[in-house]
Structure 1
Amino acid sequence: MSTAIFEHVNVTVADPKKTAAMLVKLFDWKIRWEGPSKYDGYTVHVGTDDAYIAVYTLPDSAQADAESYYRIGSINHFGILVDDLKAAEEKILEAGYKTHSHQTYDPGSRFYFHDDDEIEWEVVSYA
């Protein structure tokens, strides 16, 4: 049996194009695909050739949260691995986000920030 590999996660946001543009800018990712999706919503796949985040919105994001696709920011946090933690933080601060909860412990160092949808991002380096 082959090892399973994590490929993507899907999260509901207020504006998938805005969130995707933030991720491209901060982490040098690319837009892999975008278009109409489930429940007449819109999705942008943003990431690398190997893995991505699907950022999704409904045509009316004020609908009741009957299921996860209706909840904005229902993830605890996303962990993003970088080679240079200081350079990543500088880029995030320059983009206007506030970083917090800086920690160093085995096996690496990390900090967090929240985006415009209050989604928490953990940025970690094991270098």
Structure 2
Amino acid sequence: MRIEHANITVNNVEASVAFYLQLMGGRVRWEGTNSSGRRAAHIGDDRTYLSLFEAANTSRAPEDYSVTGFNHLGFEVDDLAAYRETLLAMGVEIKGEEDYEPGRRLYFYDPDGIEIELVEY
């Protein structure tokens, strides 16, 4: 079993597509509207993708590890330092960096306040 996709609700599909493509590369696999008639897009590759649904009402994702729910998305990368430079060039503030077995990690928020973790093993 593997994770095929993660579905996140965002404030602006176009802005999120641009953010994630600049960060991760890949391509737009599909775009259109979801079953609620809101804009949506899938970005990634042939095996794994992010499904982005546009919110009906704009807001910021909550950050609360003390309650049940979604905490963050984690992506494995080959060169954490290169991604750090990409994030800084994009104007993204690094929330934290940790170096412990089995890898080094970097944390930041996407444009909607969703926490993202990059890890290099």
Q: Which runs of 5+ in 2 are unaligned?
A: 63-69
The CA deviation at 1:18 is: 0.9
1:13 paired to 2:10: yes
Give the corresponding residue for 1:48: 45
State which of 88, 91, 108 in structure 2 corresponds to 1:96. Answer: 91
TM-score relative to the length of structure 2 = 0.86
Give the corresponding residue for 1:61: 57
Whether the aligned pair in 2 keeps the contact of 1:12 and 1:73 (CA below 8 Å) is: no
What are the superposed Cα offsets for residues 34-81 of structure 1, whole Å, 9 maximum, x if unpaired? 1011211111101121101101014x325xxxxxxxx86363111011
Give the corresponding residue for 1:66: none
Aligned residues: 114
**Matched AA of 1:18:** A
CA distance in 2, matches of 1:43, 1:15: 9
TM-score relative to the length of structure 1 = 0.83
SS at 2:86 equivalent: helix
State which of 63, 67, 80 in structure 2 corresponds to 1:85. Answer: 80
Give the corresponding residue for 2:106: 111
Give the corresponding residue for 1:24: 21
Identity rate of aligned residues, in percent? 34
Quote the RMSD (CA, aligned, Å): 1.6
Whether the aligned pair in 1 keeps the contact of 2:7 and 2:52 (CA below 8 Å) is: yes
Give the corresponding residue for 2:61: 73
Whether the aligned pair in 2 keeps the contact of 1:81 and 1:123 (CA below 8 Å) is: yes
